[in-house]
């Protein structure tokens, strides 16, 4: 049983033992109880299988997974959830590897969940490189899981949120949710984490031109990476520009003043400060009540967004609606029908 | 008949004649044809009544109004639609009055639609002052209409959009859509106009701190008003800060570089430049195709947002859902049920 191979702090004490567990577990189907026990006794193979279950799109697996989630729910919520985003090339992998190793050195247990809702189309940058974070992935107290993204953004959201819960029940106390900085991803991630960190690099002067609307505004900190060697002064300049931009905007988190920093994932310089900032953030938001309030709001808004997604997708997937939509849009743009006519007609098709 | 009292450019040629028309029209119910003819022959009383019809929440009026809209639709789309927003105190009324008078002096016909979705709660600043824009409201070639906002923001959207169409069919070639700068309003207005102008005033130094997230980003121009007397240098400073902020952000309109300006609605200085900017914008976006593309997108997104609003409100207004919601939220926050459980349960209640 997984529980037997746990050492004093609850983590399996050798790769060999874990491998033996994995082999015996893979041979049989697991019950809800097996999953729950496996996770609570920190069996990484079972954690990985539970996440696979969550990621399944079959209704049977969904019901089963929900039962698992329900049972582990009382053990969740104890980690700090940190979103990390940045454009491709910002050095996210190296940053997370070094930052993760630093956190492990402080005695933390770190889970990295990488979400890339675009990967099904673009073969995204997160899953592309299987060898990234090699050092971190070998560590005992670390778990790295890329989230494949078949299905809609809403599906990704549910899967990642539930994966966070599983990792927390397992005992990880720092959850890093990584996403590539394209489009809607950051906002999605912002809504499932406590702290949102935007990773940047010094560019050609106009640092902020290329940033997607709204991303700076949702950041609790901007970290300019690659502040090393010849690049230090450019990184400092970029930091200044980002600080100015942050200063201009309403704070992402009430009572917290978002600022810009520099770091070098290569040399490790600045990583300590990033963690200090996150801890400071946790302290302040715990004291002013924002931490708990945001988490509660996130749960409610998660439910509302799932409902919204269901309602809208059930409308647009409706076969009558789908069949007539092109014609209706054509008539709409040619001015043959009014927008309100179009709505009435479509809703009649749907409610038929 | 309204048509008979039109002068050479199609506008009624005396207040007396218009008053006579109004009296005879008020005595009877109008047919769809009466409305259409009244609007096309530029009878302001009929235009006002048509907007009242649009604003009605009764299904009978809705169907009737849709028939009117449908018939005038071929005559719409020829105005430039300009959204004007700004916090209370920015001098919107004075600006619009002076700007409107300037446009009239150039031979334009100007309709001002003021929307204030918050007014049902706060008695909003737009409807509060009945004497504002007094000079402008007396002008023949101008039409001012505050939009009362009983109903949801989505309802306000439909009503304002349809009012724009009526005003265009009437012959107004500049439509100014005014809103107070609170919350979601600007985004709503941005999605129904061609050009979005944000009116600001010089503040206490940190110009951008107080601005709602995202408002700068959707602006095609920021105009710092009250650049007169002792205030000129502060206004110029504010202009500089806004220019910097705009520089940092992705453009609101592809191919258009949003900039900040100063003006004085009091002295009239700068108003000419504002109009030049809008004309330049129209030229550039017409040439690069953005103008037509945005309008088509606005129609499609209008339909989609009406559908979304209907679907969501029909869910949350459902009596079973409403009755159980508080209990479900309680169980959700206490961890007794998972978010996915909550969604399943709520959707079952709804689909029952």
User: pLDDT tens digits for A27-44?
Assistant: 468 999 999 999 999 999
Q: What is the ipTM of this complex?
A: 0.70
User: pLDDT tens digits for B224-259?
Assistant: 999 999 999 999 998 988 888 888 777 889 999 999
Residue of A nearest to B73 (CA): A335
Specify which of A238-252, B53-67, B160-174 reaches the highest per-range mean pLDDT: B160-174
Interval B138-154 mean pLDDT: 74
C-alpha neighbours within 13 Å on the C-beta side of residue B172: 28
Using a CB–CB cutoff of 8 Å, tell me whether A292 touches chain B: no
Domains and CATH numbers, chain B: 2-73 (no CATH), 76-288 (3.40.50.300), 299-351 (1.10.287.130)
Q: Name the least confident of A13-17, A214-218, B155-159, B252-256.
A: A13-17
pTM: 0.65
Coil/strand/helix, residue A180: strand
Averaged confidence pLDDT in chain A: 83
Using a CB–CB cutoff of 8 Å, tell me whether B249 touches chain A: yes
User: pLDDT tens digits for B209-220?
Assistant: 455 556 788 899
Interface contact A306-B340, CB threshold 8 A: yes
Question: How many other C-beta atoms are found inside a 10 Å radius of the C-beta of residue B206?
Answer: 10
Interval A231-258 mean pLDDT: 87
Contacts of A299 in chain B (CB under 8 A): 332-333, 339
Nearest-CB residue to A302 (from B74, B247, B339): B339
Question: How many other C-beta atoms are found inside a 10 Å radius of the C-beta of residue B40?
Answer: 18
Please name the residue that has the structure tokens 């409201």: B137
Coil/strand/helix, residue A187: helix
Confidence of residue A293 (pLDDT cuts 50, 70, 90): very high
Is residue B260's pLDDT more than 90? yes
Alpha helices, DSSP H, located in A6-118: 15-26, 32-40, 44-55, 59-72, 92-105
Please name the residue that has the structure tokens 């005695």: A107
Q: Would you state the pLDDT for residue B211?
A: 57
Using a CB–CB cutoff of 8 Å, tell me whether A69 touches chain B: yes
B268 by Cβ neighbours in 10 Å (0-12 / 13-18 / 19+) ranks as: middle
Confidence of residue A128 (pLDDT cuts 50, 70, 90): very low
Interface contact B310-A343, CB threshold 8 A: yes
Nearest-CB residue to B347 (from A310, A335, A343): A310
Q: How far is B335 from chain A (nearest CA, A)?
A: 6
Residue B83 CA: distances (Å) to CA of B59, B112, B163, B220, B280: 29, 10, 14, 10, 16
Interval B38-60 mean pLDDT: 91
Nearest-CB residue to A248 (from B66, B208, B338): B208
Q: Would you state the pLDDT for residue A281?
A: 98
For residue A343 the two structure tokens come to 């709505």
Q: Name the least confident of A57-71, A109-123, A128-142, B313-327.
A: A109-123
Is residue A211's pLDDT more than 70? no
Is residue B336's pLDDT more than 90? no
């Amino acid at each position: 049983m997984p529980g037997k191979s746990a050492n004093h702090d609850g983590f399996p004490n050798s790769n060999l033992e874990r491998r033996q567990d994995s082999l015996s577990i893979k041979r049989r189907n697991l019950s809800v109880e097996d999953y729950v026990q496996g996770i609570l006794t920190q069996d990484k193979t079972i954690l990985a299988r539970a996440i696979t279950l969550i990621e399944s799109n079959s209704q049977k697996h969904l019901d089963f997974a929900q039962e698992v989630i329900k049972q582990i729910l009382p053990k969740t919520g104890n980690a700090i959830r940190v979103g990390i985003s940045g454009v491709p090339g910002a050095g996210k992998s190296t940053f997370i590897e070094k930052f993760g190793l630093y956190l492990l050195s402080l005695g933390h247990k770190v889970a990295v969940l990488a979400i890339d809702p675009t990967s099904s189309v673009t073969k995204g940058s997160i899953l592309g490189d299987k060898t990234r974070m090699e050092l971190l992935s070998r560590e005992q107290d670390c778990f790295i899981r890329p989230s494949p993204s078949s299905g809609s953004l809403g599906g990704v959201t549910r899967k990642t949120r539930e994966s966070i819960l599983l990792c927390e029940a397992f005992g990880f106390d720092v959850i890093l949710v990584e996403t590539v900085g394209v489009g809607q991803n950051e906002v999605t991630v912002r809504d499932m984490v406590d702290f949102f960190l935007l990773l940047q690099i010094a560019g050609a002067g106009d640092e902020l031109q290329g940033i997607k609307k709204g991303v700076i505004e949702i950041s609790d900190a901007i970290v300019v990476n690659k502040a090393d060697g010849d690049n230090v002064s450019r990184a400092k300049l970029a930091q200044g520009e980002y600080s100015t931009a942050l200063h201009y905007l309403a704070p992402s988190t009430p009572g917290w003043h978002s600022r810009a920093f520099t770091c070098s994932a290569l040399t490790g310089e600045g990583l300590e400060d990033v963690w200090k900032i996150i801890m400071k953030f946790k302290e302040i938001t715990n004291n002013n009540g924002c931490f708990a309030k945001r988490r509660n709001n996130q749960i409610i808004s998660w439910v509302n967004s799932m409902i919204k997604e269901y309602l809208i997708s059930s409308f647009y997937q409706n076969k009558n609606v789908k069949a007539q939509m092109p014609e209706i849009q054509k008539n709409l743009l040619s001015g043959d029908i009014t927008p309100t006519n179009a709505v009435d007609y479509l809703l009649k098709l749907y409610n038929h």
